[in-house]
Amino acid sequence: MDISEKNVLCGANAYEQKYYFNEKEYGNLPSAIKDELHIICVLFTEEVGGIFTIAFEEDGGILLNTAADDADYLYDEVSAGLLVGEIRRKRQELFESLSLYYETFVLGKGDMNAVNN
């Protein structure tokens, strides 16, 4: 699936040792959520390596994507997949909140009162 840069929320790159947050599109998220996303991305790349991104699908779902350079023989695709599953389970509430945010503020759907409660 090709993800537009607009839908990428954040990501980390172990090769360049950099973290990216899409401040232009999602800068109005609370700083506590931004910090949590930063930690998730950086810890993922520290443990598994490669490139890890969190993005919104067109319907508001959360996409966790991991990739590696072809020459990276230390990257373990199985471990990366397992860690993605673990992150999804442990951070399910965060991702549900982010989906609701996207549906409400980006897509203009949903009940604004549900977000404020």
Per-residue confidence band for 109, with pLDDT thresholds at 50, 70 and 90? confident
Lay out the sheet containing 18-21: strands in order across: 18-21, 8-13, 51-56, 62-67
Per-residue model confidence (pLDDT) at position 3: 54
* pLDDT tens column, 17-43: 999 999 999 999 999 999 999 999 999
Please state the rounded mean pLDDT for residues 74-86.
Answer: 95
CA angle 110, 31, 21 (to 5 degrees): 85
Assess whether pLDDT exceeds 80 at residue 113: no
pLDDT tens-digit map of 38-64: 999 999 999 999 999 999 999 999 999
C-beta atoms surrounding 25 within 10 Å: 15
What pLDDT, on the 0 to 100 scale, is given for residue 115?
47
Identify the CA nearest to 55 among candidates 114, 3, 110, 1.
3
Q: Structure tokens of 8?
A: 């990428």
- Does 5 have pLDDT greater than 80? no
Stated pTM of the model? 0.88
